[in-house]
């Protein structure tokens, strides 16, 4: 049971991150023709395209993709409940709440991983990676306000570290407010 729960949870979490990345790419107006952006779009297009016919966008927010990410989060809890209960699970209204919380936590986790990968790539690739370019476009709007506040450190950019601390603080704050269930989402 544990191994199957791990597998189902991991597959859902990875695809949810891909869907959230699509939302983030659109919101930040990142380079659509970048190979990484194309991968994200092609991985989500089969479901998002039909949903867009039914669910319109609100301004620059692609509501169809947001709804898809939320439904995936809810389905993750339904699937895990089916595995844990041996197939005798009943849909619980709490899955809707857990889905919203899970989507929020996945978005925060994705920001963390994109920042970490961007930092590592900046040391290794010297700006030659298409992924680094897109990650720069995604994270720069969050890092620029922090850089305005921080004093110049003589070539060291501590804005990523500050954002890591803010993300960790928000994670612990949600854990304090919601309880131990937050860490299990």
Question: For residue 85, what are the domain limits?
Answer: 2-184
Q: How confident is the model at residue 59 (pLDDT cuts 50, 70, 90)?
A: confident
* pLDDT at 12 (0 to 100): 96
Tokens representing residue 155 in the block: 């070539």
Reported as a single tens digit per residue, the pLDDT across 114-162 is 999 988 888 887 767 888 889 999 999 999 999 899 887 777 778 899 9
Q: Could you give the CA distance from residue 149 to residue 21 in angstroms, rounded to a whole number?
A: 27
* pLDDT at 90 (0 to 100): 72
- pTM, two decimals, is 0.89
Q: How confident is the model at residue 49 (pLDDT cuts 50, 70, 90)?
A: very high
Reported as a single tens digit per residue, the pLDDT across 26-37 is 999 888 899 999
Reported as a single tens digit per residue, the pLDDT across 63-95 is 999 999 999 999 998 888 888 887 776 777 888
User: Beta-strand (E) ranges in the chain?
Assistant: none
Q: Could you give the CA distance from residue 67 to residue 75 in angstroms, rounded to a whole number?
A: 12
Reported as a single tens digit per residue, the pLDDT across 88-115 is 767 778 889 999 999 999 999 999 999 9
* pLDDT at 22 (0 to 100): 94
Q: How confident is the model at residue 5 (pLDDT cuts 50, 70, 90)?
A: confident
DSSP letters spanning 73-118: HHHHHHHHHHHHHTS-----THHHHHHHHHHHHHHHHHHHHHHHHH
Q: How confident is the model at residue 10 (pLDDT cuts 50, 70, 90)?
A: very high
Q: How many domains is the chain built from?
A: 1
* pLDDT at 127 (0 to 100): 64
């Amino acid at each position: 049971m544990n191994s199957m729960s791990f597998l189902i949870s991991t597959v859902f979490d990875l695809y949810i991150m891909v869907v959230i990345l699509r939302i983030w790419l659109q919101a930040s107006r990142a380079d659509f023709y970048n190979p990484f952006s194309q991968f994200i779009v092609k991985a989500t297009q089969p479901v998002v395209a039909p949903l867009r016919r039914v669910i319109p966008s609100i301004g620059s927010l692609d509501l169809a993709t947001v709804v898809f990410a939320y439904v995936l989060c809810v389905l993750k809890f339904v699937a895990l409940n089916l595995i844990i209960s041996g197939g005798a699970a009943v849909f619980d209204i709490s899955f809707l709440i857990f889905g919203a919380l899970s989507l929020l936590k996945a978005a925060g986790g994705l920001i963390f991983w994109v920042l970490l990968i961007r930092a590592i790539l900046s040391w290794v690739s010297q700006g030659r990676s298409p992924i680094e370019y897109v990650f720069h476009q995604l994270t720069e709007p969050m890092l620029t306000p922090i850089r305005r506040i921080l004093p110049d450190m003589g070539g060291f950019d501590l804005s990523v570290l500050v954002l890591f601390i803010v993300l960790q603080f928000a994670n612990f704050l949600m854990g304090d407010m919601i309880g131990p269930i937050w860490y299990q989402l």
